[in-house]
Amino acid sequence: MSVRQSLLAILDQGPCYGYQLRTEFDRRTGSTWPLNVGQIYNTLERLERDGLVEKGDVNEQGHVYYEITEAGRGEVREWLDSPVPRQSGTRDELAIKLAVAATLPGVDVATVIHNQRRASLAQLQELNRAKYAGADPDGPEELAWTLVVDSMIFAAEAEVRWLDHTEQRLSLHPQRALELELSTERPKRGRPAKARA
């Protein structure tokens, strides 16, 4: 997720100081992606360095307001108009864990899947409870928060479906047939060749 573009988009509404930006970000995401103030100010410094924001007025409490520049507005428009690219490879810890576990001798992969399914279903229940605990379902903050929570719910549901699929697929093979012994071939030095997409 791009904190940089999100903060720029908020600044496109008007000048803000760091803690105010954090609060505005939380309002729009339901605090599902916690940011600390240090991260906000580091991002603001980089945005200023890149000519996307500039320091403006200082209020009586000493808060420095940041204002978006025209270049910053252009970056916001480009970000909002562009699709979010998805990675071609995976760094999903669960997928890697199950792939490795399925090929190790003596690992009860069914238990690994069962434990994960139980945790995923508990998370899904918690997300659904949180979704329906909102006070004003038609308010803008509630709508923004619901969009983020819906995304998390769909991801949790997809994970449970994937676990069911994985369990079914692994059940077609005897455990010993999936085990990989350590290779006796010595790896060559250097980086492996990149796989073509």
Render pLDDT for 31-86 as a digit per residue (tens, 0 to 9). Answer: 778 888 899 999 999 999 999 999 999 999 999 999 999 999 999 999 999 888 87
The fraction of the chain above a pLDDT of 70, given in percent, is 90
Dihedral, CA atoms, 145, 151, 154, 159, nearest 10 degrees?
Answer: -120
Q: Give the model's pLDDT for residue 184.
A: 78
Q: Where are the domains of the chain?
A: 3-81, 93-178
**In angstroms, rounded to a whole number, what is the distance separating the alpha carbons of residues 33 and 14?**
22
Query: Do the beta carbons of residue 163 and residue 120 sit within 8 Å?
Result: yes
Mark residue 69 as left, alpha or beta (left: phi above 0; alpha: psi -120 to 50; beta: remaining).
beta
**In angstroms, rounded to a whole number, what is the distance separating the alpha carbons of residues 88 and 91?**
10
The CATH number of 3-81, from 1.10.287.110, 1.10.10.10, 3.40.630.30, 2.40.50.140, is 1.10.10.10
Query: Do the beta carbons of residue 154 and residue 162 sit within 8 Å?
Result: no
Instruction: Quickly state the pLDDT bin for 132 (edges 50, 70, 90).
Output: confident
What integer is the mean pLDDT of 174-195? 71
Q: Give the model's pLDDT for residue 134.
A: 60
Query: Do the beta carbons of residue 51 and residue 71 sit within 8 Å?
Result: yes
**In angstroms, rounded to a whole number, what is the distance separating the alpha carbons of residues 102 and 163?**
13
Query: In the predicted model, is pLDDT for residue 125 greater than 90?
Result: yes
Q: Write down the pTM of the prediction.
A: 0.69
